[in-house]
Amino acid sequence: MREFAKLIAFCLVILASAFDGAQADNSSSAEARLREKNITLPVEVAPAGAYVNAVQVGNLLFMAGNVSGGLKGKLGRDLTVEQGYEAARQAGLIMLAKVRAALGSLDRVKRVVKVVGMVNSADDFGEQAKVVNGYSDLMAEVFGESVGKHARSSLGVAALPRQAPVEVEMILEVE
């Protein structure tokens, strides 16, 4: 009986620590996380073509494709996986600025639902998923694991606008 009580106590400690970890993930808002991590979002830029940055239908927000600024070229030929990762992260920062502009606050995001990452790839490049991780990791960092982790596709493409290395679009559940 005594061993059973110890086992129950041990299980309760494990459950409590798991619950504390889940609480920590959700304890601060996305806007607070940006401040805590000293992440500054760029100013939202108007669309470069005949489209809008965001369309809300019910509780879903559809975000237009977004490229990063600065780097140009193909992954596997002109750029490394690490450079592509940083380009994807930069695209994420730009996207977050557009989400904030559409909603007024990132705290209205209930869930990052789906991400599609397109990587400007050399013919023999096959590390698209590692590149798009730059975007996915940022979403988890800003929104927390339970809100920021998402379903995703990572595609290699022959070309992107303005020779960008990465373009990303996403769908969000919002309040």
Query: Per residue in 142-172, pLDDT tens?
Result: 999 999 999 999 999 999 999 999 999 999 9
> String of b and e for 128-156 (b: at least 16 CB within 10 Å)?
bebbbbbbbebbbbbbbeebbebebebeb
What is the reported pTM?
A: 0.83
Query: Per residue in 97-123, pLDDT tens?
Result: 999 999 999 999 999 999 999 999 999
pLDDT band at 4 (very low <50, low <70, confident <90, very high): very low
CATH of 28-174, one of 3.30.420.40, 3.40.50.1100, 3.30.530.20, 3.30.1330.40: 3.30.1330.40
